[in-house]
A and B are shown apart, each in its own frame.
Chain A
Amino acid sequence: MTNEEILAKLQEAFPDVALRVQTEETKDFTLIVPAERLVDVATHLRDHLGFDYLSNVTSVDYPDRFEVVYHLFSMKRGGGVLTLKVHLPDKEHPVVDSVTPIWPGANYQEREVYDLMGISFRNHPDLRRIMLWDGFPGHPLRKDFENRTYTYKELEPTRPKPPNW
């Protein structure tokens, strides 16, 4: 199935969704999906177009928006990567629907994005920080995060109380 066929089938299934193909910056086939229809498009891609494997979830911090990027593959059909991107213009509290109910492998990667970029995932089954501890000040991969060194004493009040053994 070529990229043009995938795009045509998607547009046939979702005539009301404005799918954009990103061509200038990348050679990969990239679809920009509106955030509110991400779950519908992703479910259709899995159930009807054979994209049964979510390889990667990551995020980018641009000056005017956050972007969540999904890399999809089809294990049964083979072929190349399909990139989905979601633009989130809210720079303070970006929220997007979780795709963990569709591809369970997204669980930890969405937690990583939540931890380091501060993007919340609606309907995620277990949205906790995965690398840093709860209470750590800020999200380190955001561009406005001031990357400096901390002393032990400075971070001590943010830590959870250790178990008493």
Chain B
Amino acid sequence: MHEVEARRREFVSEVARRAVGAVASEESVFFEPLAAQFVKRGELPRERRYADGIIASGWDTAVVLISPVALALANSLCNRLLDNVSDEVLKRGGHGLRRAWRMLRRADRPAGPAEVPDVSAGAVALRDQLISTARELGVPEEKATPLVDALLAAAEDLPAPGGPASKGSGTA
């Protein structure tokens, strides 16, 4: 069980890393420690304002960080995938998931709906939902869509979180 959970988190971390590398490369400086915190705790710490008494610089204009959003979205995506794909598919390992995902992707194309109409609708909804979540987390419109697309592309290239250990995962 722990191994499955570890793979799930590794999947999330890798998907988010690839997305951040594609959309906000300046955040790669601190992505590793942030992802390490996420992997360790399963969530990110809440945002803190500067506390009373510290020597902080004192001005407080917040910056929208992509990395925590990417991690959160990747986590959400992983959960969604795990919910949507049947246990049987999962038993077939990462290839099965990849096939399932490709079906989702194809379903999104104009020619595809005839083949797997139910899955196609799910893929579109998933993408929209992720974009909407990204917006809610403060990511501006012009960055939300590329981020979600990058996440989805990264997820497509990676083995399933619940399947056998991936080979060569982590390559962008």
A complexed with B:
no
Interface residues of A (CB under 8 A from B): none
Interface, chain B (partner A; CB < 8 A): none
